[in-house]
Amino acid sequence: MQIRLTGHSEGELSASSAQHSTIRRNQWRRRVAFLAFGVPAMVWFLVWMLWPLINMFRISLLRWDGLVKASTFIGLANYQRMFTDDLFFYAMRNTGIHLLFGMPLALIPAFFLGFFMSLRLPGFRAFRFIFFIPAMVSVAALAMMFYGIYMPEGILNAVLRLLGLSAWTHNWLADPKTVFGSIIFIDIWTGIGFYAVLFFAVLSNLPNELYESARLDGASLWTILWRIAFPLSKGFFGVVTMLHFLWILTSAAQNVLILTKGGPGHYSLTLGYYLYNQAFVTQRLGYSQAIGVFLFIVGMVGLVIIRQIFRQTD
Site for another protein in 242-301 (CB under 8 A): 243, 246, 249-251, 253-254, 257-258, 272, 275-276, 279-280, 285, 288-289, 292, 295-296, 299-300
Query: Of residues 13, 155, 165, 281, which one binds another protein by CB under 8 A?
Result: 155
Identity of the residue numbered 184: I
Residue from 99, 106, 107, 143 in contact with another protein (CB under 8 A): 143
Q: Which of 105, 145, 160, 174 binds another protein (CB under 8 A)?
A: 145
Among residues 24, 25, 31, 311, the one that binds another protein under rule CB under 8 A: 31
Instruction: Look at residues 96, 55, 101 and name the one whose alpha carbon lies nearest to residue 272.
Output: 96
User: Looking only at residues 36 through 65 of this chain, which bind another protein when binding is defined by CB under 8 A?
Assistant: 36-38, 40-42, 44-53, 55-56, 59
DSSP single-letter state for residue 169: -
Q: Least distance in Å: CB of 176 to another protein?
A: 20
In the set 9, 17, 220, 312, which binds another protein (CB under 8 A)?
220
Cα–Cα nearest to 183, from 125, 239, 263, 113: 263
Shortest Cβ distance from residue 9 to another protein (Å)?
A: 32
* Closer by beta carbon to another protein, 4 or else 209: 209
Task: Find the shortest distance in angstroms from Cβ 8 to another protein.
Answer: 34
Name which of residues 80 to 119 contact another protein (CB under 8 A).
109, 112-113, 116-119
Q: Which residues contact 257 (CB under 8 A, 6 or more apart)?
A: 273, 276
CB of 40 to another protein, least distance (A): 5
Of 182-201, which residues contact another protein (CB under 8 A)? 189, 192-193, 197-198, 201
CB 67 within 8 A of CB 79: no
Burial of 141 (0-12, 13-18, 19+ CB in 10 A): exposed
Residue closer to another protein, measured from CB, 267 or 276 = 276
SS3 71: coil
Alpha helices in 1-46 (DSSP H): 2-45
For 272, residues 6+ apart whose C-beta sits below 8 A from its C-beta are: 95, 249, 250, 251, 252, 253, 256, 295
CA distance 119 to 200: 9
